[in-house]
Amino acid sequence: MKSTTWFSRIAIALSLVFSAAAYAETAVIVSASNGNGTLDQDTIARIFLGKTSKFPDGSQAIPVDQNEGSAVRDAFNDAVLGKSSSQLKAYWSRLIFTGKGTPPKESGSDADITALVAKNPNLIGYVDSAAVDASVKVVYRF
């Protein structure tokens, strides 16, 4: 009986941990000094897929990706771009081969992206919502 209770407690604790990870919110961010307010999913996807290089206000938009394989990047690719990492590799391979585009630069973790975006009003990135601070502005959440 004791081992069943102990096992049940462990199972409940693990399910809570995994549930929290599944519900982690991701934020698309720009510098606090960027003039754009909220952006819609389509606009963000167009920027990250190289279909536009401008924010809605006409200023330059430079996307930065998290490192390949990060959970936040996988969530962003799926929820915002509607593509898996293998689909994105194929997409960018075609564009690179034809000379029609280059993928966003990989710029590290949540902290790295937040620091880069805070310093440059032309950059747009995405991070776990917990990494957002006053130096950046959230333009989209999912």
pLDDT tens for residues 29-59? 999 999 999 999 999 999 999 999 999 999 9
Q: What are the E-state strand segments in 10-132?
A: 26-31, 62-65, 105-106, 123-128
pLDDT tens-digit map of 91-106 = 999 999 999 999 999 9
The CATH architecture to which 25-141 belongs is 3-Layer(aba) Sandwich (3.40)
Beta bridge partners of 54: 60
pTM, whole model, 2 decimals? 0.83
- Where along the chain do its domains lie? 25-141
Q: How confident is the model over 69-88, as pLDDT tens digits?
A: 999 999 999 999 999 999 99
